[in-house]
Structure 1
Amino acid sequence: MGKLEGKVAIVTGASKGIGEGIARVFARHGAKVVLAARGEDVMALAQELRDAGFDALGVRCDVSSYEDCQRLAQAALDAYGHIDVLDCNAGICVLGDFLSADDSWRDSHIDINVKGVWNACKAVAPAIIDAGGGAIVITSSVTGDMVADPGEVAYATTKAALVGFTKALARELAPKNVRVNCICPGYVRTPLVDGMAQQSDPDDPERAIAAIASAVPLGRLGTPEECGELCAFLASSESSYLTGTQVVIDGGSTLPETSSMGQ
């Protein structure tokens, strides 16, 4: 029996990247998965999972809209009767120059990365409480709370905010038997990272990817499925005494103090 057998889990940002990896891993571990994303491709992924024998529902949802998140929660309840797990993964990262970028760059990151998590948690948490408790897992990042690169001010600000959000919400929901934790990925090979590489090195994006990998002690980028396995652990009873925790999954990329000492 899978560690999420019988659980109903909502995954936002589920159509690609880390969210897709989380959705696939949750399904393999026995969860009934509600996949949410803005685009139509989330419906195709849900159908693919159903064709493979898993129980999956696709729902188009813009997490920056609280009403959309309420509709998402109701769709999950209508389909399965209860909700046990919410995985808040939807997010954006667009590089920009702090001094020259207009405020829409800042606001788009806040709307999706911060308000989106807030909206999803506020809309779904009551159902998790009604089910007797469960887990919320949030995708933050090593960026912002631990490290940062040029061009990441908007992204770093929002991802750092999610660490504080995780801790505060964990404290507030603990008496209601809802655990809240976040994962802090380093570089994972996703369409989002591919887009950042394209922005950084338009002539040869793979050169940017190789440069990232060379700075990771494990020598590679992570995979969405590896993040999914961590999220499955945090969503399951195996982590029943963990709440308010941020778990780094970065191949050791935040470990080096310098790039030259000891070489």
Structure 2
Amino acid sequence: MKKLEGKVALITGAAVGLGEGISTVYANYGAKLIMVDLDPNVEKTAERLRKEYNAEIITVVANVAHKEEMIAAVKKGIEAFGEINVACCNAGVCRLAPFEEFTDEMRDFHIDVNIKGVWNTCQAVIPEMLKEGKGSIVIASSVTGDIVADAGEAAYAMTKAALVGLTKCLAVEYANRNIRVNCSQLGYARTPMVEKMAVESNPEDPESAIQSIAVGVPMKRLAKPTEVGELFAFLGSDESSYLTGSQVVIDGGSTLPETMSIGTN
């Protein structure tokens, strides 16, 4: 039996990037999927997964920043599959700018998607999980904000660090009701979001910005979205049944070196 067989998972930001990687791994492990994204191309991604894995999938075009849309997405998932066992709160955004030039609109964009989006998703799914008497929530935080930060990432760092606090509080609040809440703390993966950040960092040569990231990672590469998906699958499955409130770093060792110039290597 596959590790996610019999489970219904709601995945936000599912059309591309990390969300596509998470959805791919979940489909491979036998989960039924509710793929949510603001991008209508989420259906195109879902169709690929149906063909490759014979997966049962519904798609919902919705904005995680709008609570009523997430409640409606959950309702559609319940109508289709009868329950929701796992929620992967993956949808997120990052825009770079010097702090003194950061507009209120840019700040609020991060808050609306990165914080309110996770908040709304959790508030939409937890009542259904309480009805079932169990559930697992996996929140996509980051090493950025809680552990490290780069210049220009003030809004992203602030919002991703906030998700660590939300993870811990929800884990405590729902532990005795059999709902587990954990978060991933990713370094860098090769995704459209990172490629956009590379353009913002070095418009003339964005690929060099990406390669420079890899130089600072002991494993000398960025993560594949499906590698992140494997972590989400573990945290969503019964294999992690005694884990809650955990912060799991997945960064190829990038936060480990004290320097990049001292040592025997």
**TM-score, normalised to structure 1's length?**
0.99
Give the Cα–Cα distance (whole angstroms) in 2 for the partners of residues 132 and 49 of structure 1: 29
Asked if residue 4 in structure 1 is aligned to residue 7 in structure 2, the reply is: no
Give the Cα–Cα distance (whole angstroms) in 1 for the partners of residues 171 and 25 of structure 2: 24
Q: Which residue of 2 aligns with 1:251?
A: 252
Give the Cα–Cα distance (whole angstroms) in 1 for the partners of residues 211 and 43 of structure 2: 33
CA displacement 1:28-84 (0-9 Å, x = unmatched): 001001100001101111122222311111111100000001001101000000110
Amino acid at match of 2:134: G
Q: Which residue of 2 aligns with 1:211?
A: 212
Amino acid at match of 1:46: A
Q: Which residue of 1 aligns with 2:142?
A: 141
Amino acid at match of 2:105: S
Contact map agreement 1:87 1:136 (CA 8 A) in 2: yes
Give the Cα–Cα distance (whole angstroms) in 2 for the partners of residues 101 and 68 of structure 1: 28
Give the Cα–Cα distance (whole angstroms) in 1 for the partners of residues 194 and 183 of structure 2: 20
Q: Which residue of 1 aligns with 2:31?
A: 31
Unaligned regions of 5+ residues in structure 2, if any?
Answer: none
Q: Which residue of 1 aligns with 2:86?
A: 85
Give the Cα–Cα distance (whole angstroms) in 1 for the partners of residues 124 and 135 of structure 2: 15
Give the Cα–Cα distance (whole angstroms) in 2 for the partners of residues 190 and 174 of structure 1: 33
Helix, strand or coil: the match of 1:36?
strand
Helix, strand or coil: the match of 2:100?
coil
Asked if residue 59 in structure 1 is aligned to residue 60 in structure 2, the reply is: yes
Give the Cα–Cα distance (whole angstroms) in 2 for the partners of residues 11 and 260 of structure 1: 40
Backbone CA RMSD of aligned residues: 0.8
Give the Cα–Cα distance (whole angstroms) in 1 for the partners of residues 101 and 135 of structure 2: 44
Helix, strand or coil: the match of 1:39?
coil
Runs of 4+ displaced beyond 6 Å: none
Q: Which residue of 2 aligns with 1:130?
A: 131
Amino acid at match of 1:124: V
Amino acid at match of 1:161: A
Deviation at 1:14, TM superposition (A): 0.4
Equivalences for 1:1-263 in 2 at 5 Å?
1-52=1-52, 53-262=54-263
Give the Cα–Cα distance (whole angstroms) in 2 for the partners of residues 104 and 2 of structure 1: 44
Amino acid at match of 1:20: E
Deviation at 1:141, TM superposition (A): 0.3
Equivalenced residues, count: 263
Deviation at 1:130, TM superposition (A): 1.2
Give the Cα–Cα distance (whole angstroms) in 2 for the partners of residues 18 and 125 of structure 1: 23
Deviation at 1:132, TM superposition (A): 2.1
Helix, strand or coil: the match of 2:137?
strand
Contact map agreement 1:96 1:105 (CA 8 A) in 2: no
Amino acid at match of 1:30: G
Helix, strand or coil: the match of 1:140?
strand
**TM-score, normalised to structure 2's length?**
0.98
Deviation at 1:89, TM superposition (A): 0.1
